[in-house]
A and B are shown apart, each in its own frame.
Chain A
Amino acid sequence: MTWDWQFFLKDIGDGETRYVDWMISAWGWTLAVSGCAWVVALLFGAVVGTLRTVPNRWLAGAANVWVELFRNIPLLVQIFLWYFVIPAIIPPLQQVPSFVMVVAALGFFTSARVAEQVRAGIQSLSRGQRNAGLALGLTLPQTYRFVLLPMAFRIVLPPLTSEAMNIIKNSSVAFAVSISELTMFAMQAQEETSRGIEVYLAVTGLYIVTTMVVNRLFAFLESRVRVPGYVGGGK
């Protein structure tokens, strides 16, 4: 077989877009889906993870249900659920662009995993920290805000790094509802050009580069917020 990378500069048929332009735009969609979903995942994951450690049994129970629900259904099924089922049951959501639905699906799916990490982080702190906060006259929310969470978030940075890398990889599942992201591009460009190996190599390379950059960003963040005297602050 012979290599042919020339087709990347060829027109896709609309007179102005080349395959390489299409791929860059697909990369942008991958970044947009993963980035927005990460914000959702972090927000809900932090809240749900924290609630799982509070003394109130109802709140902790509800948070547990959240985690079990989103962890035990395959991501692809959850995406179909958000894309086909929820708009059918709640008609006003039919106007919402599919991008938003995919972000919700991927975000909530990942939030369950983030919540697991946050819970583990809070529970890894010694009981004395919580007691010390309460003994100082802080209320329980204040103890969380000023004592427990600032420590817990630093401790869980390494597992959160792998979740952030996972969300980029998992965004590939959005191909199933025709979001024009990298995997969708790979499938369509492969079909149109028959240069599957070149297309897949380029797309795979972009995924690896993206996850590596995220990994480095988190490593930088980790070194900036390291807690002196804690192993968990380091690498």
Chain B
Amino acid sequence: MGDLDLSFFDWALVQNFLLKGLVFSVELTIVAMIGGIFFGTLLALMRLSSHKWLQVPAALYVNTMRSVPLVMVILWFFLLIPFLTGKPLGAEWSAVITFTAFEAAYYSEIMRAGIQSVARGQVYAGFALGLDYSQTMRLIVLPQAFRNMLPVLLTQTIILFQDTSLVYAIGAYDLLRGFTNAGRNFNRPVESFLLATLVYFVICFSLSMLVKRLQKKIAIVR
């Protein structure tokens, strides 16, 4: 192994290999975040409802998802989706569905804690004003829960972004795949992995610094 040679790294490489992967990783993160928070909030509301028939399935879903490795969940969906729909779905679409379903379980735990952190008096106040359950939740409880949990939700999203690299298992073209392909193409795997490390670190570290600043801001207002 000779010295590191980064001369293969130029704009053409970024355009040909990395950009496509980065766009997919970011898209996957954003879609899974929005979908995950949406379904996660529904799951949290189900678990906190007084009806057993809502509580039990939601708890079962969340606990199952949380006790299986993400790679296995990715493999499961990749196997099951074509089986259920009857036609094969690309690795990319399969990843989008998998991550939304998987992250919903994790976001739901955060939203559940968030809803429980809202003072009970707020709910009573809503009812006293004549709002019904869905109005109280939508207009009073959820906005506060969401706000209290915003830093945790965003931290989970950074973890989600890191986890998107696991679509490697089904061969979807994400940021990491872009780097491995570039490394193979130029026969420079070592440099390519080093660059991948650097890029992921810069993205995740700056995002986590932003979350920390946001956390301070929110803490002062409250």
Using a CB–CB cutoff of 8 Å, the interface residues on chain A facing chain B are 68-69, 71-78, 80-81, 84-85, 88-89, 91, 165, 168-173, 175-176, 183, 186-187, 190, 196-197, 200, 203-204, 207-208, 211-212
**Other-chain residue from A68, A169, A197 in contact with B68 (beta carbon distance below 8 A):** A169
Stretch among B10-18, B71-79, B142-150 lining the A interface: B71-79
Is there an interface contact between B1 and A187, defined as CB atoms closer than 8 Å?
no
Is there an interface contact between B189 and A84, defined as CB atoms closer than 8 Å?
yes
Tell whether A200 pairs with B201 under 8 Å between CB atoms, given A72-B208, A89-B190.
Answer: no
**Other-chain residue from B75, B194, B208 in contact with A186 (beta carbon distance below 8 A):** B75
**Other-chain residue from B1, B68, B163 in contact with A207 (beta carbon distance below 8 A):** B68
The secondary-structure label for the interface of chain B is: helix
Is there an interface contact between B72 and A203, defined as CB atoms closer than 8 Å?
yes
Is there an interface contact between A68 and B1, defined as CB atoms closer than 8 Å?
no
The secondary-structure label for the interface of chain A is: helix
A203-B75 Cα distance, complex, nearest whole Å: 11
Q: Mark B64-87, 1 if CB is under 8 A from A, else 0.
A: 100111111001100110010000
Q: 10 A–B contact pairs at CB < 8 A?
A: A68-B205, A73-B201, A73-B204, A81-B197, A173-B69, A183-B169, A187-B169, A190-B79, A207-B72, A208-B68
Does B96 interact with chain A (Cβ within 8 Å)?
A: no
Chain B residues whose C-beta falls within 8 Å of the C-beta of A196 in the assembled complex: 79
**A-facing residues in B157-191 (Cβ within 8 Å):** 158, 162-163, 165-166, 168-169, 176, 180, 189-190
With most chain B CB atoms within 10 A of its CB, the pick from A68, A81, A173, A207 is: A173
Is there an interface contact between A211 and B72, defined as CB atoms closer than 8 Å?
no
Is there an interface contact between B163 and A200, defined as CB atoms closer than 8 Å?
no
Is there an interface contact between A73 and B197, defined as CB atoms closer than 8 Å?
yes
Is there an interface contact between B71 and A73, defined as CB atoms closer than 8 Å?
no
Chain B residues whose C-beta falls within 8 Å of the C-beta of A168 in the assembled complex: 69
Does B9 interact with chain A (Cβ within 8 Å)?
A: no
